Each structure stands twice: as C-alpha cells, then as structure tokens.
Amino acid sequence: METAAAAVSMPEAGAYENEREGIALDKAATGQGEVSSGLTGDAAVPAGNAAESGRESGVSRKLIRDVTMEVETRNFDGLLERISERVEELGGYVESSSVSGRSLNSDGTGGRDASVKARIPADRLDGFVETVEEEANVLNRQEQVTDITLQYSDVESRKKSLEIEQERLWELLEQAESVDAVVTLESRLSQVRYELESLTSQLRLYDNQVAYSTVDLYIWEVGELTPQEEEGIGARIQRGFSDSVKMLTEGGVDLMVWILSNSPVLLVLAAAAFILAKVGRIGLRLRRKRREKKALGKAVPDKGENKEQ
C-alpha cells in the first residue's frame, strides 16, 4: 500500500513542480516588463516592442473605455427617447436608468434629471458620443482608458497551467492504487476545478468590459442652455434685453391667465364696488342737501329780524 502511494506521489510531485516552474517563468516575464506570446523561454519580447510583437503574434491589446458625460437639454423626453433608440441601433443596451423631479415651470424653474448607464460596443462608442453631443448641451465629458492586457495574460496563463495540471491529475487518478492517493488527488482536482471556474468567469468579465464600453450619462432639464463660451459685452447686453422682454411677456401672459381664471370673482367684486360707490355718491348728495337746507333755514330768520329793526 505504501509503495503504491509513493509511486503515485512521485509523478504527482513532478507535475506540481513543473506547474510552479511555469508560473514562475510567467511572473518573471511580467515583472521584467515583458509580454508573453503564450510560449516560454525565447518567446518573451521586450516591452518596447510589445505592440509590434502583439500584431505579429495575433495578440491584441485589451483596453476598457469608460465615458462619463454631464449634459443639459430643453427637450428632456425627446433626448431620453433618442438615446434609447441610438443605443439599440448601435447594438448596445441600457444597463440602468432613473428619472426624478418634475417638469419645468412656466418661469423656467424646476426641471427633471436623469441618469443612464449604457453599454455600447467599443468600436461604436465614438458614434454614440457624437449623437449625444449633437442632441444635448454637453457640460462635462470624461473618458478613461484602462489597459488590462497584462492582467488578462496573467489570468489566461494561470488558467492554461491549471488545465494542464487538471489533465495530469486525471492521469494520476487513473493510476492510483491506494485510497489515500485517490483522496489526495480528488481533493486537488476539486480545488483546480474551482480555480478554473473562477478564472473563466474573470476572463468573461474582462471580455465583456473590453467588448462593451460603459457610458454614464447625467441629464438635466433646463429652460435656458448654459453658454459654452464666454460672452462678450454685446452678446451679454443682447441676452439681457432678450431675458427682460421674455420676462415681461411671460409676466403679461401670467397676468392675463390670472384675470381670466378669476373673472367670476372679479366681476362680483367689481359689481359690489360699483354699487358701493353709487350708494356713497347718493349719500354724499343727501348730506349736502341737508346741510344746504339747514344753512338756508338759518338765513331766513335773520333777514326778518333785520327788517323789524
């Protein structure tokens, strides 16, 4: 029993040793700024010629492009609809979106805001950004490019090493003649399978991030767009005059709307005011006549007294 276990452990140890040597070579190449073409030894290429060697060996750079844009618009609903249509046209999809706030008031205050996270095929990202710039007023735009070529190569190399180890473990398992050897090999196989699944998921994530760029859009609904360039004195005067005319026009419209909407109440109040004014004038006339009569009554006796004297 011990002899069989030893027979199995010897090739198993050799397989592990070869695996460690392969990984050590990969890490050494990475640490020295070299890009592996999938081979070992003489296949390593200096970092300065990485791009050229990548083209020759068929290995492409793994670049993740992320764009963040802050925009404003006066046509909020139209812009959201256009963005959704454009994403679909380009073969992308909207990962998440949200809208909050209320529509603009008549005086231009208030307004809604939205956030949209879209995934766009990397080779069509520029076309989508151009569409947003055409349809909205861009306040801020940031783009980040992350090169994950080395990370991708490391994960890929590790995955290949584990696949080789897995094949070797299966061979050893077929040759195992002891229970201890079988248990040891199956335990290691379970670990290798778990690591392979994890690395496969990581590579799929990398592939998705490279193939589909992420665009984070923040949209604000406004009554007036923010000027893109600093205005001169003439432009500022013209804009101020236009704003004043607009304010007066909107004020007149609001006043007319208020009058028409409250016309029943205003008519009643006007009628009441007219009646009160009429009654007031009649009362004033009556008081005047009374004063005149009193004055006339006093004047008549005085004349009679003067005649007797």
Give the pLDDT confidence score for residue 302 in this predicted structure. Answer: 54
Any idea which of 19-28, 56-65, 71-80, 285-294 has the lowest mean pLDDT?
19-28
Share of the chain above pLDDT 90, in %: 44
Asked if the model's pLDDT at residue 20 lies above 60, the reply is no
Cα-based distances in Å from 243 to 137, 152, 238, 251, 305: 20, 57, 9, 12, 80
Torsion sign over Cα 78, 79, 80, 84: positive
The whole-number pLDDT of residue 59 equals 60
Residue at 161: amino acid letter: S
- Which tokens is 248 given? 């007066």
What is the rounded CA–CA span in Å between residue 93 and residue 86? 10
Q: What percent of the chain has pLDDT over 70?
A: 73
More confident residue, 63 or 223: 63
d(CA 151, CA 222): 44
- The whole-angstrom separation of Cα 283 and Cα 166 is 115
Measured between alpha carbons, how far is 285 from 278 in angstroms, rounded to an integer?
A: 11
pLDDT at 152 over 50: yes
Model confidence at 118: pLDDT above 80: yes
- The larger pLDDT score, comparing residue 16 to residue 123, is at 123
The helix or strand, by DSSP H or E, that contains position 185, with its residue range, turns out to be helix 179-211
pLDDT at residue 111, rounded to an integer: 87
pLDDT score recorded for residue 43: 32
Q: In this structure, how many other beta carbons lie within 10 angstroms of the beta carbon of residue 266?
A: 13
Q: Determine the pLDDT at residue 23.
A: 42
The alpha carbon dihedral of 13, 14, 19, 23 has a sign of positive
Report the pLDDT averaged over residues 199-204: 96
Q: How far is CA 249 from the centre of its chain?
A: 36
Residue 195 to residue 151: CA distance in whole angstroms: 16
- Cβ atoms 184, 4 nearer than 8 A: no
Q: What is the pLDDT of residue 6?
A: 39
Quote the CA–CA distance of 172 and 65 in Å, as a whole number: 45
What is the rounded average pLDDT for all residues in the chain? 78
Residue 33's pLDDT is: 35
Q: What is the pLDDT of residue 192?
A: 94
- pLDDT at position 37 is 31
Give the lowest-confidence range in 35-49, 110-124, 196-210. Answer: 35-49
DSSP letter at 45 equals B
Q: For residue 186, how many other CB atoms are within 10 A of its CB?
A: 13
Tens of pLDDT, residues 74-109: 999 999 999 999 999 999 999 999 999 888 887 777
Q: What local confidence, expressed as pLDDT, does residue 292 receive? A: 74
Q: Which of 221, 199, 202 is nearest to 210 (CA)?
A: 202
What local confidence, expressed as pLDDT, does residue 34 receive?
A: 35
* Domain residue limits, the chain: 63-228
d(CA 154, CA 79): 43
Q: CA triplet 134, 84, 111: central angle to 5 degrees?
A: 70
pLDDT by residue (tens digit) across 218-270?
A: 999 998 888 876 656 776 677 677 767 766 776 777 788 888 888 888 888 88
